Each structure stands twice: as structure tokens, then as C-alpha cells.
Amino acid sequence: MKELTMAIVGYGGMGSYHAHALIPDAAHIHLKGAFDIDPARQQAIADDGFVSYPSYGALLADPEIDLVLVATPNDRHKPLAIQALNAGKHVISEKPAMMSPAELEEVLAVAKDAHREFFTHQNRRWDPDFRVITEIVESHSIGDVFRIESRVHGANGIPGDWRHYAKYGGGMIRDWGVHLLDQLLFLLDGPISRVTAETSTILGNDCDDGFTVRLDFASGIRCVVEVGTTNFISLPRWYVKGTKGTAEIIDWDLAGEQVIATGVDTTAPAPIRAGVGLTKTMAPPAENAVRHAALPAGTPLAESFYDNVHDVITAGAARIVKNEEVLRLLRLIDAIFQATETGQSVGFE
């Protein structure tokens, strides 16, 4: 099995996470070194036992390097990826792949001319909670799913420095939004007919500190995607409705359940007190009308991100994260920006 040697440009939070947590798990990829413009991070690279290249040029000139990970702020992905491809390296970009679909098209053209591979680290396709939702949708355990609500809520504001500024590719649409939207595009078939969006700028930045997006798939499935950084009480990570039940995943520890109609009892529930009134409509279903089921284990993907990158480069394997999927994702993000600017829902596909 051919081994690949790799280097990282941008050794901040995510670059060093790749170095310590992700690359060591790759069966045939080895990290040699990294470059960062910040002298303190250059020292961290050396302290961590890797080659600390004095410049990006020096990293790219190292003939042992087959593959470069770009893990800098988002606005730097394009020039650094193009430089690496032109130096004959394969490239992984952190998400969002690029600032716009036009940028990605440009980079893919360079990759094609250079006969090198370009990948995007859409790692949350592997998240256990998302694998569980995938199994619920595909197994029809709650019937045909017609609504998916996917949320991440925090109360710590926008983290770090560059994420506060639009010009560096900051904001939550380009941060968590990229992950949550990618998951739904990967999961659900067919075109998205309409996109509706609102952003929040409560913290006073020139980019969003949270957003709510509604995607109407042509199939009839409606999704709500929401990211918040000013939520002192969080809504569940996932809330999914099907024709025969409802599923909920509360958090990343996978607390949650499926509640599924048994179909054996259609007796109307007894009315309950609701505030100062009375309701049958909102009363809990009769005990034998539903059953509570544990969440399923989750459908695994064929292999890890890095093993797939290795197999694509060395053996022409099928990609788990396809460039055309990433391009569609960036087009969707453009449509979301358009919808927020105009205050109108926009047609998409």
C-alpha cells in the first residue's frame, strides 16, 4: 500500500486537531510538517515534533510532501490551494472549501490542469448523530420523513478573531452552517425548490452570529436549519417528523428517542387541562397508541475521511465527499445570502 506524506498550512485550532486527532488514525498517511504565519504557532509545530517550515514556499518545495491540508481562515483557502496544486501537491481544504462557487470552479480547473486531486473536509458527514438520522430516514422507522429540524445552539457568541469579519469568511453560515447544510444535501435526494433565510446580527458584527434557513425540497420534505450563538437555552440537535412517528436527538451524547404510532388504538385521548382551558387535540396520545423506541445505531460510512482521500489518490477509489456536492453546497450558501439580503424566499434548483 503506497504511503502518503502530508503537510499542513495553518496550524491553529483545526490544523493542530488534524495533526493530533485525525491524521494519526489514517492508515497510510503520515504528517511530516506544517507552516503557519504566526511565530508562536511555528514554535508549536516544532514543539509537537513536526518540521516547522520557515515559509509556505519551503513547504511546497519539499519533494516528500504529496498532500497539503489548508486549515487557515476561509478567505485564504483559494490562493493557498492554488499554490499547492501548481506545486504538484494534492490538496485538502478545510470547510468551507472556498468563499464562493466561482472560487471553487477556479480551483477545480487548476487541479484538473495539474492532474492533482482536491478534497474538502466535510467531516460532519461522519458524525454519530447524523449517522443515526440517516438510518431513521432510510429505514422509515418513523414512516416517511417529511420534516427535519437540525440545530446547534450555543451561548458563547462567535469564537476567535477572524470569524467576526465577513472579509475573512466569518459568520455562522460559513461556520456551522456549512456542516449542517452539507449533511442535509448528502442525506436527501432531489432538488431544493425554495430557500428562505433570516440571519441574526445581535452581537454587532458585519457577518451573521446565527441564522435560520428553511429548505423546501421538491420531494415535499421541508428542513429547518438553525445556528445560534446567543441561545442560553438550547433546542434539541435534531427533531424529525415522519408519517408514523417523531424522532428527537437532544445532544451529541445521543440522548433521545423515537415515538412511533402503533396503529392499534385510535381512541381519542381524554381531554386535559391546558392553561385556563381544556384540550383533546394537545392531550398526550393514549398509552397503547404509541411505543417508545431507542434511537438506532446509525448507518456507518464505507471508510474514514482520510482513508478515502488515500484511496482516491492512490487507487482512484470513489469519493465520499464529491467536488460537485461541495459546489452545490456553495451555490446553496449563495442562495441563502441572497434570501437574507432581499428578505424574500428564492428559487434554487
Mention every residue, 6+ apart, whose C-beta is less than 8 A from residue 164.
158, 170, 205, 207
Cα–Cα distance, 321 to 328 (Å, whole number): 12
Among 3, 20, 27, 38, binds ligand NAD (CB under 6 A): 38
Q: From the CB of residue 305, how many other CB atoms can be counted at a distance below 10 Å?
A: 21
Query: H helices within the chain, ranges in order?
Result: 13-17, 39-47, 56-61, 77-86, 101-114, 128-139, 178-187, 305-315, 323-342
For position 50 contacting ligand NAD by CB under 6 A, the verdict is no
Residue closest to ligand NAD (Cβ): 12
Nearest to 241 by CA among 325, 133, 335: 133
Cα–Cα distance, 63 to 46 (Å, whole number): 20
- Least distance between ligand NAD and beta carbon 18 (Å): 9
- Least distance between ligand NAD and beta carbon 53 (Å): 10
Among 4, 6, 8, 11, binds ligand NAD (CB under 6 A): 11
Whose Cβ is closer to ligand NAD: residue 99's or residue 290's?
Answer: 99
Q: End-to-end alpha-carbon separation of the chain, Å? A: 42
Cα–Cα distance, 119 to 324 (Å, whole number): 11
Residues in 14-33 at the binding interface with ligand NAD, rule: CB under 6 A: 14-15
Whose Cβ is closer to ligand NAD: residue 11's or residue 238's?
Answer: 11
By CB under 6 A, which span of 4-12, 150-158, 258-266, 341-349 interacts with ligand NAD?
4-12
What is the pattern of x (binds ligand NAD, CB under 6 A) and - over residues 281-320? ----------------------------------------
Whose Cβ is closer to ligand NAD: residue 94's or residue 311's?
Answer: 94
Nearest to 90 by CA among 328, 318, 314, 338: 314
**C-alpha triplet 190, 296, 179: angle, nearest 5°:** 45
Cα–Cα distance, 116 to 89 (Å, whole number): 7
Whose Cβ is closer to ligand NAD: residue 32's or residue 41's?
Answer: 41
For position 181 contacting ligand NAD by CB under 6 A, the verdict is no
Residues in 80-109 at the binding interface with ligand NAD, rule: CB under 6 A: 94-95
Residues in 122-161 at the binding interface with ligand NAD, rule: CB under 6 A: 123, 160
Whose Cβ is closer to ligand NAD: residue 61's or residue 282's?
Answer: 61
Return residues touching ligand NAD (CB under 6 A).
9-15, 35-38, 41, 56, 71-74, 76, 94-95, 121, 123, 160, 162
